[in-house]
Structure 1
Amino acid sequence: MNDPEEFSQIRGAQMATLQNDTINIGRLFGPDFFFSIPNYQRPFSWDKDNLSDLIDDLIAAKRDSDYFLGTLVLHQTSENNFDVVDGQQRLTALSILLACLRDHIGGNPVEIQELLMQPERTFAGIPARVRLSVRDSAPYHRIVCTHNGTRAASPAPSILGSTERRYLEATGIFSEKLAELSVGELQGLAEFIIRRVVVIYLAANTFDDAFRLFTVVNDRGKQLRRIDILKAANLSPSAISDPSVRDEYARKWEDLEEGIGEAEFESLFHSLRLIYVQEKPEGDLLHEFDTRIFSKPNRPTRGTNFINTLETYVNLYESLFVTRDFMIDTDYHAKYKTLTYSMISEYRANEWRACILLYAMKYKQAGMYQFLLKLEQMYLGHWVNSIRKDERYSSYTLILKSIESSKFGRAVAENIEPNTEAIRDACKNANFYGTGYAKYLLLRAEIASTELDSPREFTARSIEHVLPQSPAPDSEWKSTFSQSEIDELVHNSGNLVLLSRSKNSSAQNKDFELKRNTYLKPRISEYPRSLQAVAETEWTPKVIRERTKSFAALAVVDI
């Protein structure tokens, strides 16, 4: 963020007041700055890699030059008081590291403690005050602000909240590294952090200006999620004016994200974008919501309206794609849960989920499984034909429009015409093994060959050739297959089985009977179609061709 062009862009944004400076940690954690993490921020979430990188970099850094820790974007709420708009992960991690240094150096080093907690000065009328106020204040205060807090016994894991677990994980990683240093090295590291670690801070005196700074920094390559910015926009004072309501909806947002997990939560936003816009994207997720959803009629508006809508979709998304229990009280429960497990695990794109979501929102369970089968085959038709993303979007948006306009879900499913012939042809591809869709179609064939009395989760460690890719010159394979037949058939779908255990390269080239009994059978016990392969008494060109033909039929049969 020390690019002159970038500062010019920020200064040119016509903000009422903008402060910016490059300062070291000693000043940042000094008497002129007290920080609060606002409700729209997600909780502390740095993982092991982030934490290890920080401590490793600081230990290895040259002590005679500055170490740049990044940019902070702040909203100044009053004199010396700042809400952290961007940078709370770094500030929190740095606070925990300073607390670990304090406790490892020993002797209660006052200088480090005062960076974390302003001490009370009774005669001067200065109260004790924590330097960084976080939402999970009790565990933070106990671990970070209390002498020897990073070494104190922890509560039982079963009663820890997710944020407290992150705090303790950070103290564990930092403490393990610091334990390798002498007292002199610890003191040198503390001095280096306080004097030579620097940040650039940008502070605006209105939320709107700070939010604009946030988006500018984010657009210049900072690793922040677009949904965090959307969260800030939906919890801003202009969207929700009442502070108590803002707190309530901030907690609701965090509970929704924690309920289905970060990755699924973000995936949901992409599905919502497609549901509401029903066209290919013109920009990133933030642009799409700002310009093509929130500003349009018959679409959610920022604030409580959107968050309430989001809650409805999160609950639906969870039942469709996380627990996959949406059809639990129907005859299709086992089939739905089994098939969607493989789709979710193996599909490379997620546009289809938007169609399932909107269908479920409008028609509930009526015709859902039949709709899923049509959608699955449409996806497969796109996959085997390498259809471009733009063309896929056109297909999905037509389905979304059909859902909105059709009274009955049956009509929507009937209008989907998947290219089943292309799927069958792909199954007969001589180089089927080398395609990206091979594993999914093999799993689908296993599902289609199974009596599904209850849900199953079909997974495979690998794909194995029965006829080896490189049979030994003196093997029985060479007498059963000509070289031209090996070249023609070795990668056919009929020559492939799924393994539930790891491959063993030393056994792959054995002759059929030995390979079947000692290698394949123990590794394919979960797969009925693959078990049919090891039930064969011989493995010939005719067997492979017949299995390829039957496999092509299974690829499009209704499960």
Structure 2
Amino acid sequence: MAINATEQPLGKVFTADYRFRIPSFQRAYIWKPEQILQLVSDLDEACKSPAVPYFLGSLILVRESDAGEYAVIDGQQRLVSLSIIIAALRDLEQDPEWMRLLDALIVEPGDKLRGIRNEPRLVLRDRDAAFFREYVQEGNLEALFDLSDDDLSSAAQHNIMVNTRQTYDALARFTDDERRRFASYLVNGVTLVIVTTDDLDGAHRIFDVMNMRGLPLTPSDVFKARAMSGLRPVELDAYATRWDDIMDPLGDDARATEEFFAALHMILTHKPATGKLIEDFLTDVLQAHVAGGTVPAFIDRVLAPYATAWRILDKPGDTVLAEGLRDRIELLNDYRNREWKPVAMWALVHSFRNLGQPGLSPFVQRGSHTRRDAVDESALGLHDRQRLDELFAALERLTGIDTLNRTGALERRGHAAAAIRDLDKGYPVRLVRGLSVKPDDRTGALIRLHGEMQGDDDLVRLLLVRANEQAASGRIARPRRLSALPIVPLDIADETSFAQWTQDEHDYWMYRLGNMALVQGSADQLDRIGDYRQRRERMLLRPDSKRFPLTQQLADFTACTPAMIRHRQEETIRLLADYWDIRYDERHVDLTAQDIEGLAAGEGGGAAATRAGRGSRRVTIAQVVKAGLLIPGETLVWERPRKGERWVATVTDNGRFRLEDGSEYASPTAAARAAGGRSGGGLDVWKRVSDGRKLSDIWQEYRLRR
């Protein structure tokens, strides 16, 4: 078995030297938004030090031909995600040369003279290969954004669609220069180790050795070894055991322990992470204790209390802390971002004097046969509860606003470092700069609440939980399975209960908060129900659904009208604005009484509007017509020469497509479905007769203008 391993920059990996194929026995693409967004964030930080390479791990490949064809045994998730990132960069780029270079990274441009075919560099499993090629690799992101879940045939396609949306939104917040700097670093600074073999069994053995045999040293192992070097012989055994007693309850997940020490480093140094945790922690923290003979004090007074605080944040429900504080921590755990943790750890350690002391656990002991004295908050040395409550409230408020504004990880970490710096100086919570919400942040959050929430189910569910609990004036017990479901169905064409709705009204409200309700159970329970009364009855069927006031309100409405959904939208926004204390500005003007345009025109609204305006939200025909990119009366054509089929659509004055049979549709995809039975990708099939331009290009021009 011949094995070859070489380290290559990404710009060399995505060339004609390699053509990657995902074998059918491999699992599907399973990365979620948090994973691909973390990769984008990490690369964004790394590119700020362009001379330092970013190692992205190894690819294990089986050579299938001498023409550079390889089966991917390990590395599929990263290859697919990198392709998505490059596709988003390409779609956001306006310079033709940059677009061509980015396109060539994921699609071989071909060369007839050299006999090179135009092909994608990565081919997914059969079920998803055509979808990935059509929408991502070949640059049809506008068509992808126009799809709904009904147009997808696999979970992998859903992951591809959602991850592409989220990546596009994240990169859209960069300036042109920032994106080009990011793209240049991606090609030249990101490296992979390519491990190749001619034997499939051999590739699996390599995979086993690299991933399953032997445990690499974790940061905790490295730090423990350095700390033990600073102990006297009589202290060594006791403090080696003490270290293990402190760290073992955190678990053996290397990523989790790395996150803990990164948070501890920030708390102690006020420095955000640089990507070199082991080097930074040894230099900035441990070296002084080793040199000064204070390792025991570090373990007892720093490591122990902060590790205990970390565990409290992970499982607040298992602690003896007061219910209100447990609830505050549970609310913070609702967020997928974790930059709040260092501040929360600081708050706990500086509010409980005895946290981390041996034999004094803040956790409820269940099923133990050994007798332990009862421990409560007073035994843990609680002091200044008011400051603790204020701090957690301010931290949750900031985390919520940052989540709505899609604030980047680097900026969120900057907030945390600034907050801890001011807290260490003894500032009262109201004066801590890292926890403050600026007028522009407040405006941006309100603009986001007014807008569409398509493709971010977790955020919609979180927002509705917050709004309902604000309406209930307290915490609501959540069922194990909780979904945010639309009141108005995806298709209203044949539903008499929505006869008064226009297609424009439906499209406008479909993905806004006012059309969503919290319901116990799965997300697909209303898929086959179109009638409003039946949908309402199904939503209110289970008692747990009725716990939520905004869901229970549906019982008071015998019909669903646009006015009803508008009322729910306004009420939900008011509740959330009150919850996060962003309803009024400094002059006590009620900002929830303003629409998006009014908010964007107000003080500080320019930056907020820019942030909220350019993203993956669906573009409508009416918007494109209003912008002058489509003209009422002009014709569009969809031709299938091989099948001898041709359909014609006319742009109407009210922003719809009228087919030759007189039927009208509010989206290109709906018109394509009605004309030729195509389930998705309407933007990609229709072309303008006057210049042959595809709608996807027109839609992209509108988005870039906006």
Q: TM-score range by the shorter chain?
A: 0.5 to 0.7
- Shift >6 Å, 4+ stretches: 2-6, 297-302
Q: Is the 8 A contact 1:423 1:556 kept in 2?
A: no
Inter-CA distance 525–435: structure 2 relative to 1 (3 Å threshold): closer
Structure 2 distance, partners of 1:370, 1:531, is 32
Q: CA deviation at 1:301?
A: 7.4
Q: Is the 8 A contact 1:498 1:524 kept in 2?
A: yes
Partner of 2:409: 389
Of 449, 461, 471, the residue aligned with 2:471 is 449
Partner of 1:315: 308
Structure 2 distance, partners of 1:324, 1:348, is 18
Helix, strand or coil at the partner of 2:436: coil
Partner of 2:218: 225
String of CA shifts for 1:35-71, please: whole Å, max 9, x gaps: xxxxxxxxxxxxxxxxxxxxxxxxxxxxxxxxxxxxx
Helix, strand or coil at the partner of 1:255: helix
Q: Is the 8 A contact 1:494 1:546 kept in 2?
A: yes
User: Does 2:369 correspond to 1:349?
Assistant: no
Of 269, 279, 282, the residue aligned with 1:277 is 269
String of CA shifts for 1:384-443, please: whole Å, max 9, x gaps: 222222222222221111101125445438962253332222111134564763222122
Helix, strand or coil at the partner of 1:351: coil
Q: CA deviation at 1:514?
A: 1.3
Partner of 1:80: none
Pairing 1:523-538 to 2, within 5 Å after superposition: 524-538=545-559
Partner of 1:254: 244
> Which residue identity does 1:524 align to in structure 2?
S
Helix, strand or coil at the partner of 1:358: helix
Partner of 1:379: 399
Helix, strand or coil at the partner of 2:541: helix
String of CA shifts for 1:64-113, please: whole Å, max 9, x gaps: xxxxxxxxxxxxxxxxxxxxxxxxxxxxxxxxxxxxxxxxxxxxxxxxxx
Inter-CA distance 412–506: structure 2 relative to 1 (3 Å threshold): closer
> Which residue identity does 2:330 align to in structure 1?
Y
Inter-CA distance 267–386: structure 2 relative to 1 (3 Å threshold): same
Structure 1 distance, partners of 2:458, 2:505, is 24
String of CA shifts for 1:530-557, please: whole Å, max 9, x gaps: 2223443222111111111111122232
Inter-CA distance 447–250: structure 2 relative to 1 (3 Å threshold): farther
Inter-CA distance 504–455: structure 2 relative to 1 (3 Å threshold): closer
Pairing 1:264-343 to 2, within 5 Å after superposition: 266-295=258-287, 303-308=295-300, 309-323=302-316, 328-329=321-322, 333-334=323-324, 336-343=325-332
Structure 1 distance, partners of 2:222, 2:290, is 23
Helix, strand or coil at the partner of 2:577: coil
Q: Is the 8 A contact 2:487 2:516 kept in 1?
A: yes
String of CA shifts for 1:144-189, please: whole Å, max 9, x gaps: xxxxxxxxxxxxxxxxxxxxxxxxxxxxxxxxxxxxxxxxxxxxxx
Q: Is the 8 A contact 1:461 1:502 kept in 2?
A: yes
Q: Is the 8 A contact 2:539 2:545 kept in 1?
A: no
User: Does 2:569 correspond to 1:548?
Assistant: yes
> Which residue identity does 1:402 align to in structure 2?
D
Q: Is the 8 A contact 1:492 1:548 kept in 2?
A: yes
Q: Is the 8 A contact 1:507 1:519 kept in 2?
A: no
Inter-CA distance 361–339: structure 2 relative to 1 (3 Å threshold): closer
Structure 2 distance, partners of 1:394, 1:301, is 32
Q: CA deviation at 1:519?
A: 4.6
Structure 1 distance, partners of 2:473, 2:488, is 28
Q: Is the 8 A contact 1:294 1:300 kept in 2?
A: no
Inter-CA distance 533–407: structure 2 relative to 1 (3 Å threshold): same
Inter-CA distance 222–260: structure 2 relative to 1 (3 Å threshold): closer
Structure 1 distance, partners of 2:571, 2:486, is 17
String of CA shifts for 1:421-469, please: whole Å, max 9, x gaps: 32222111134564763222122112222343x7845765322111112
Partner of 2:616: none
Structure 2 distance, partners of 1:463, 1:301, is 56
> Which residue identity does 1:392 align to in structure 2?
R
String of CA shifts for 1:505-533, please: whole Å, max 9, x gaps: 56553311112113543262443332223
Pairing 1:482-497 to 2, within 5 Å after superposition: 482-497=502-517
Aligned length: 339
Structure 2 distance, partners of 1:366, 1:300, is 37
What is the TM-score when the length of structure 1 is the normalising length?
0.53
Inter-CA distance 246–428: structure 2 relative to 1 (3 Å threshold): same
Structure 2 distance, partners of 1:261, 1:356, is 20
> Which residue identity does 1:268 align to in structure 2?
F
> Which residue identity does 2:335 align to in structure 1?
Y
> Which residue identity does 2:566 align to in structure 1?
R
Helix, strand or coil at the partner of 1:499: strand
Of 218, 225, 239, the residue aligned with 2:230 is 239
Q: Is the 8 A contact 2:343 2:416 kept in 1?
A: yes
Structure 2: runs of 5+ lacking an equivalent:
8-204, 352-382, 581-706
Helix, strand or coil at the partner of 2:518: strand
Structure 2 distance, partners of 1:441, 1:299, is 50
Structure 2 distance, partners of 1:4, 1:535, is 67
Structure 1 distance, partners of 2:251, 2:468, is 30
Deviates more, 1:295-304 or 1:221-230: 295-304
Q: CA deviation at 1:377?
A: 2.2
Pairing 1:3-42 to 2, within 5 Å after superposition: none
What is the TM-score when the length of structure 2 is the normalising length?
0.43
Q: CA RMSD in A?
A: 3.8
Q: Is the 8 A contact 2:486 2:516 kept in 1?
A: yes
Structure 2 distance, partners of 1:383, 1:5, is 40
Inter-CA distance 376–492: structure 2 relative to 1 (3 Å threshold): same
Helix, strand or coil at the partner of 1:239: coil
Partner of 1:514: 534
Structure 1: runs of 5+ lacking an equivalent:
7-196, 199-216
Pairing 1:96-245 to 2, within 5 Å after superposition: 223-235=216-228, 238-242=229-233, 245=235
